[in-house]
Chain A
Amino acid sequence: MVSKSEFSNKKKSVTIGIIDTETSNLKNVISACEKEFLKVYLLKKYENISNDIDGLIFPGVGSFNFVMETLKKKKLDKFILEFLKTNKPSLFICLGMQLLFSYSEEVKKSKGLNIFPGSTTLIQANGKRRVPIIGWNTINQKNKNDIFYGIKKTDTFYFTHSFYVLPKNKKIISSESEYFGFKYCSSIAYKNIYGLQFHPEKSSSAGLKIYENFRKLCLA
C-alpha cells in the first residue's frame, strides 16, 4: 500500500487505484497485485488523483444496486468516468464489469455507469444448469487481446455470478464461456478498458498472468 505523498518519487513502479466499495473481496485483489509487483492505492471516495495513478481496478462483489448506490454516495462514479478519459488501463472484475453497462435486472431495474450500452440479466436455471454459476471454466477468446497475452485455450478461470452482461455492441466481447449449453459473454475489451466476468485473483496461475499482463499495459 502506498500513501499519496509517495506518488511523486516513483520510478519504474506501477501504482494502481482500487475502488473500495466495502463489500468486495479487496484483500485478494490486493494480494494478487502485490504478488505481481503492482503498488496499491485504495479509493474509498472521490479523489483528484487520476493523473497520479497508472491504472485502475474495480473489483466487484455484492449486489448491483447496493454497490451502485455506494459509488454514487462516495462520488466514485464521477472518479471512474474521469479516470477513463485518461485512456490509461482499467480492469473491471465481475460486478465491476456489469456496472459498466446501462442497467441491471438484479433486485430491481437499476441504472449502471452506462459506459457501454447494454444490460445485465439473470441466468436462467435449467436442469443441470444450476444458478449461480460457481466454479472453474475455460474462456473462448474472440480476438487478440493484450490482457490475455499468453493465456491458453485450456487455461481455467474461477467464476461466481448469477447475472451476465449483454453488450449492445458485440464487438467489445473479447471472450465467451459455455455453461451447460448456455453461451455468454465472459469478458469485454474496448480500447484500454477491460472487463472480466471471472475472478483472476482467484484463478491460480492463469489468473495471476492476467495481473502480470495488466502491469505491462500500465507500463506501456
Chain B
Amino acid sequence: MFKRIIARLDIKNNNLVKGINLEGLRNLGDPKYFALKYYEEGIDEIHYQDIVASLYDRNSILEYISYTAKNVFVIISVGGGIRNNDDIDKVLRSGADKISMNSAVVKNPELIKIASKVYGSSTISINIETIKSTSGYEVLIDSGRQKTGLNLNKWIEKIQKLGAGEITITSIAHEGKKKGFDINLYKMVKKYVSVPLIAHGGAGDIDHIVELFQSCEVDGVALGSILHYSYLEKNILLDNQGKNYFINTEKKIHDDKKITIDKIKKTLKKNGIKVRI
C-alpha cells in the first residue's frame, strides 16, 4: 500500500483560501486551476473543503466538483456543511467520491451510521479538528471556532463504531504554521485508530512530511500551504497590497525551495517511504 499525498483546498466563496490555525484567510485564486495542476503533477487525491458552507449556499462548490470530476481522474473528497443524506447525494452526484464531515456528526453522531449504511463506510470520512488542553486533546467544530468538550480518543472510538471509514485529524495549533506536524498527537492516537488515518496541519518543508511518515503510523497526509504557495498562478489578481506583499513573500520562499509534488514524492521514496510516482 502506498502512502497518500492529498492536496487540501479550502474554499471560500469562489476562491482557494489559506489561513493559519484555520484563521486569517488569504485568497489564492481559482480552486479549479490548482486542482487540475495538482492532478497533472501526480497528486493522489484532491480534498475540497467549503469552509463557509454553513453560512452561504453551496452551489459554487458543486460546480467545482463537477468541473474537477470531468478532468481529474483521482479521488475527490468534499467536506463542509454536509448535514444529511440529501447533501451527501448532491455532492456525490456532482462527481465527488468521498464525503468528509465534522460539525454535523458531532451534533448528530447517528448520521455516520445512516450515511455509511447507504453509501458504504469507505465513502464516509470524518474530519476531526483538535487542540491540546489541560485534560488532553479536545475536539472542536466549525473550523476550530467551537469547543465541544469531547475527548479526542473517546470520539475516535465512537465514530469508528458508528461506521466512519476514514479519519483525518487536523491539529489546529499546527495548521498553516509550516513548522512541522504534531508528531506526538499522531503517535498517541495510533492505538485508538482502526481505519485509515490522515494527518493534516503543519507541513512547511519536505522534511516535515518525511518525519511524519517515519515516526507515525499514518496512511496519508493532507497538504495545504506547502503546495498552494508553490503552485500559485503567476498573475494572481489581488485586491489588497498587504495580501499582495504577504503572498509574494511566501511565493518567493517556496520558489527558492522549488517544492513540487514530484520532489516531495521522490524525497519520500529516497527515505524509504512507499509512495506512488
Bound-state CA distance A161–B121 (Å) is 8
Give, as a whole number of angstroms, the nearest-CB distance from A39 to chain B: 16
Mark out the residues of chain B between 205 and 234 whose CB falls within 8 Å of any chain A CB in the assembled complex: 217, 219-220
Interface string of A31-50 (1 = CB under 8 A from B): 11001000000000000000
Any chain B CB within 8 A of the CB of A61? yes
A136 contacts B70, C-beta separation under 8 Å = no
Mark out the residues of chain A between 172 and 220 whose CB falls within 8 Å of any chain B CB in the assembled complex: 179-180, 199, 201-205, 207-208
A125 contacts B2, C-beta separation under 8 Å = no
Mark out the residues of chain B between 68 and 108 whose CB falls within 8 Å of any chain A CB in the assembled complex: 69-71, 73-75, 92-98
Mark out the residues of chain A between 121 and 138 whose CB falls within 8 Å of any chain B CB in the assembled complex: 125, 128, 130-137
A162 contacts B66, C-beta separation under 8 Å = no
B73 contacts A202, C-beta separation under 8 Å = yes
Tally of chain A residues near chain B (CB < 8 A) = 39
Q: Which residues of A contact B71 (CB under 8 A)?
A: 31
B interface bracket (residues with beta carbon within 8 Å of A)? 35 or more
Mark out the residues of chain B between 1 and 57 whose CB falls within 8 Å of any chain A CB in the assembled complex: 1-4, 39, 42, 44
Q: List 17 A-B contacts (CB under 8 A).
A: A25-B95, A28-B95, A61-B92, A61-B120, A63-B117, A63-B119, A130-B194, A130-B195, A130-B196, A131-B195, A132-B196, A136-B44, A136-B276, A156-B276, A160-B122, A162-B121, A199-B97
Contacts A61-B97, A130-B193, A131-B194 known; 19 new A-B pairs at CB < 8 A: A23-B119, A27-B66, A28-B73, A31-B69, A61-B119, A63-B119, A130-B194, A130-B195, A130-B197, A132-B165, A132-B166, A134-B166, A134-B196, A156-B276, A160-B97, A160-B98, A162-B120, A162-B122, A162-B165
A interface list, Cβ under 8 A from B: 23, 25-28, 31-32, 35, 61-63, 66, 95, 107, 125, 128, 130-137, 156, 158, 160-162, 179-180, 199, 201-205, 207-208
